[in-house]
Structure 1
Amino acid sequence: MSETLIASKAAPVRFENVTKSFGRDVVAVDNIDLHVEAGKLVTLLGPSGCGKTTTLRMIAGLEMATSGRILIGDRDVTTLPATDRDVSMVFQSYALFPHMSVLENVSYGLTFSGFSKAETKARALAGLELVGLKGFDSRLPSELSGGQQQRVAVARALVLEPQVLLFDEPLSNLDAKLRRQVREDIRAIQQDLGLTVVYVTHDQEEALAVSDEIVVMRNASIAQIGTPRSLYDAPVDRFVADFIGEANILPCEIDSVDGDMATIAIENYRHVLPARGLAPGPAKLAVRPSRLVIGAENGFKTTIAKATYVGVRMEYTLEASFGTMFAVHEDVDAPFQIGAEVTVGFSKKGPVLLPEA
């Protein structure tokens, strides 16, 4: 079995007050603390320039921290070069050697690890079997699809049996259908082998699909850390609400607070939800498009401004007295018509009050 040849040595990763500066004026990562548990897949998510790739490269040893400590397992690797860190990285560009066969590409790192030729080949073949490319060993990278090339890059990293496996935007060169399949492959391999994986992406759906935990980054710092569901259901602020899936940010009034629960008002509509430490008065509400109930018995008045059929659902732009909202509805056979006035309410597990910044 291939699993006997590719064993997991998964180790945790810890950042302690880590800062990375480029020159005097550019702070790429600003005093972050982070703990990645052994055997978990943790995604660094955020817009371009937020510091996620620099964080990944500091784990790899491709960038050195300006201050703070980085530990892999119990070992302080802060000042160690990349070659001494026992990590492997899968790059966005795959970085395959075009003149080498698939087997030679996967074997490349093993040739420097002291294995015999026979064991090197056995491990490389096991790696290819693990990523679903058994029988592809004699092909050249140019004879493979983009998804297959990405799997070769994953196999090449896995056969080194790293303590930590790093992915830098691994799906950005693939089309939508391939992205879905390859991310499922990566997640399945990670879970089957119990690997510690740190994964960088700017794609929210990708992060939600593959992660045990997501680290949302903004302006060189960490905005929020949590499971995909906790970030989606309870974003800490407007940035996270808008970045983890789409969110409508609506004005509301907190009428009253009773213990941990608040009663909010939008026009004449009332809804009870967790107060999240807020007091009565004006507030902001984040509501996912799927949690707006169009045609509700109780709600506030809106008008259908746009209606778009996208196959499995309808997408609507709604105009209310306080602004525009985006909503989705599963009924594609009897869509609401543009110009129709509809009452909109919230699903029971719907809106979230946003704590003040």
Structure 2
Amino acid sequence: MKDRQLGSKAAPVRFEGVSKVFGKDVIAVDNIDLHVDAGALVTLLGPSGCGKTTTLRMIAGLEMASSGRILIGDRDVTKLPATDRDVSMVFQSYALFPHMTVLENVKYGLTFSGFGKEEARVRALHGLDLVGLKGFDNRLPSELSGGQQQRVAVARALVLEPQVLLFDEPLSNLDAKLRRQVREDIRAIQQDLGLTVIYVTHDQEEALAVSDQIVVMRNASIAQIGTPRQLYDTPNDRFVADFIGEANLIDCTIVNVEGDTATIEIDGYQHKLPARGMTQGPATLAVRPSRIVVGHGDGVAVRVAKATYVGVRMEYTLEGAFGQVFAVQDDVDDPLDIGAELRMSFAAKGPVLLPERT
């Protein structure tokens, strides 16, 4: 092995006004600007058809931008083929060769990159060690679990020491428990090695769990960029509020604004929260299910329409003059009765006004 540590080549990625058009008028990516810091894990998140995979493939050189510039480090790679971009990609399908051993799979790319047999073997063994598969080198892919196969695919990408490592829906073929384990493994490897990782998923929980920043995409463009907490706590509009986790969207009225604080009213119940630059009048409030308080004190009149026990919590559908909301409570031993007439209020921190008028 060379003295250089894996991850030391990590480079930033920049999109400057990048668009991708298929055919004459199918716009897959529409004039996006994006900066990914070296050593960060950034997730492209959005529904099917929003442009996230096309964006990833343009970084890899598997699709060419129709306009704009793509830079990796200080190098303009917009027109370069995939083989000249110094990036590696981990695919949804793993793409392991079934007739090759784990070690041969991991070595495969190295043999085409100018490394001698012994150095390729040492590098491949080191890569397997990094992903927790030391001693698995002589097994075939069919002898591994899905999570282990995914780690082999990661090791194969890592040993090439790319400037940027790309993941395209890497956990979609795994069951729920294994997805959690493997996403934690990927995040730990990324942080330990200081890799620049760009990760595509449509799973909101997955994105929240692994990312330094999340890029929420909608209709071929970027809806919002921020840390997981920023996007969860202060979404820009109802699409982001509803897509990042669950959110109840409730019509309200801003009755007063003093400085940066607004007072909103719903059926006579008032609540103070950040104004976010909004003024008096109709507005939309986004409230996470865990930020709804149900009891007999001050609040909006509601009726418990549904109650569902899901093990670690209770889930409720509440009905009021404003419509329906979804609420959760940790108390599973003393659940609310279906049909109970109660009052709904909000936690002091959590509800947020959406700047977009709905």
TM range (shorter): over 0.9
Equivalent in the alignment of 2:75: 75
**Residue 8 of structure 1, CA deviation:** 2.6
Pair 1:227 & 2:224 matched: no
Q: Please show how residues 139-178 of structure 1 align to structure 2 within 5 Å.
A: 139-178=139-178
CA 1:7–1:41: 2 relative to 1, 3 Å: closer
Residue deviations 1:203-258 (CA, integer Å, cap 9, x gap):
00000000000000000000000000000000000000000000000011100111
CA contact (8 A) 1:2 1:127 kept: no
Equivalent position of 1:242 in the other structure? 242
Q: After TM superposition, what 4+ stretches of structure 1 lie above 3 angstroms from structure 2?
A: 1-5
Contact 1:99 1:140 in 2 (8 A): yes
Contact 1:3 1:193 in 2 (8 A): no
Partner of 2:311: 311
Partners in 2 of 1:312 and 1:295 — Cα distance?
20
Aligned position for 1:342: 342
Residue by residue over 1:114-170, the C-alpha shift from the partner in whole angstroms, topping out at 9 and shown as x without a partner, is 111111111000000110101100000011010000000000000000000000000
Distance in structure 1 (CA, Å) of the matches to 2:296 and 2:211: 34
| TM-score normalised by the chain length of structure 1 | 0.98
Alpha-carbon distance in structure 2 between the residues aligned to 1:3 and 1:287: 52
Tell whether the 8 Å contact from 1:2 to 1:126 is kept in structure 2 after alignment.
no
CA distance in 2, matches of 1:280, 1:59: 45
Relative distance call for 1:270 and 1:69 in structure 2 (3 A) is same
Q: Which string of whole-angstrom CA distances, capped at 9 and with x for unpartnered residues, describes residues 238-284 of structure 1?
A: 00000000000001110011111100001121111011111111110
Asked if 2 retains the 8 angstrom alpha-carbon contact of 1:303 and 1:341, the reply is yes
- Separation in 2, partners of 1:130, 1:298: 55
CA distance in 2, matches of 1:3, 1:151: 24
Give the AA of the match of 2:83: T
What is the RMSD computed on CA atoms of the aligned residues? Answer: 1.3
Q: Is the 8 A contact 1:5 1:123 kept in 2?
A: no
- The residue identity in structure 2 corresponding to 1:263 is T
Aligned partners of 2:236 and 2:356 also within 8 Å: no
Output the CA distance in 2 between the equivalents of 1:149 and 1:66: 35
Residue in 2 aligned with 1:273?
A: 273
Listed one character per residue, the Cα deviations across residues 306-347 of structure 1 (whole Å, up to 9, x for unaligned) are 101111100001111110100000100000010011111100
User: 2:7 touches 2:194 (CA, 8 Å); kept in 1?
Assistant: no
Please report how far the alpha carbon of residue 101 of structure 1 lies from its aligned counterpart in structure 2 after TM superposition: 0.3
How many Å apart are 1:6 and its aligned residue?
A: 2.9
Partner of 2:217: 217
Q: Which runs of 5+ in 1 are unaligned?
A: none
Partner of 1:191: 191
1:1-357 alignment, distance < 5 Å: 6-295=6-295, 297-356=297-356
In the alignment, is the contact (CA less than 8 A) between 1:5 and 1:126 conserved in 2? no
Shift of 1:105: 0.3
Give the TM-score normalised by structure 2. 0.98
Secondary structure of the 1:277 match is coil
CA contact (8 A) 2:255 2:280 kept: yes
Distance 2:255 2:7 in 1: 57
In 2: Cα distance, 1:136 partner to 1:145 partner: 12
Q: What SS class does the counterpart of residue 217 from structure 2 fall into? A: strand
Distance 2:217 2:240 in 1: 9
Name the CA distance, whole Å, in 1 between partners of 2:338 and 2:350. Answer: 25
Equivalent-residue separation in structure 1 for 2:247 and 2:49 (angstroms)? 22
Q: Is the 8 A contact 1:165 1:195 kept in 2?
A: yes
Q: Helix, strand or coil: the match of 1:239?
A: helix
Answer whether contact 1:8 1:162 (CA < 8 A) is retained.
no
Q: Which amino acid in structure 2 is aligned with residue 52 of structure 1? A: K
Q: Which residue identity does 1:182 align to in structure 2?
A: V
Letter in 1 for 2:245: G
CA distance in 2 between partners of 1:60 and 1:83 (Å)? 9
Question: Helix, strand or coil for the counterpart of 1:315?
Answer: strand
Counterpart amino acid of residue 200 in structure 1: V
- Runs of 5+ unmatched residues, structure 2: none
User: Displacement, 1:350?
Assistant: 2.0
DSSP 3-state at the match of 2:333: coil
Asked if the contact 2:7–2:195 (Cα under 8 Å) also holds between the matched residues in 1, the reply is: no
Aligned residues: 357
Kindly provide the amino acid, as one letter, of the partner of residue 259 in structure 2: G
More deviation, 5-14/40-49: 5-14
CA distance in 2, matches of 1:213, 1:296: 40
Q: Partner letter of residue 191 of structure 2?
A: Q
1:171: Cα distance to partner?
0.2
Q: Residue 335 of structure 1 aligns to a residue in which SS?
A: coil
Q: Report SS of the residue matched to 2:18.
A: strand
Is the alpha carbon distance of 1:153 and 1:100 closer, same or farther for their aligned partners in structure 2, counting shifts above 3 Å? same
User: Structure 2 CA distance, aligned partners of 1:303 and 1:3?
Assistant: 66
Structure 2: which amino acid aligns with 1:13? V
Instruction: Measure, in 1, the Cα distance between the counterparts of 2:8 and 2:325.
Output: 47
Q: Aligned pair in 2 of structure 1 residues 5, 255: CA closer, same or farther (>3 Å)?
A: closer
Q: CA deviation at 1:23?
A: 1.2
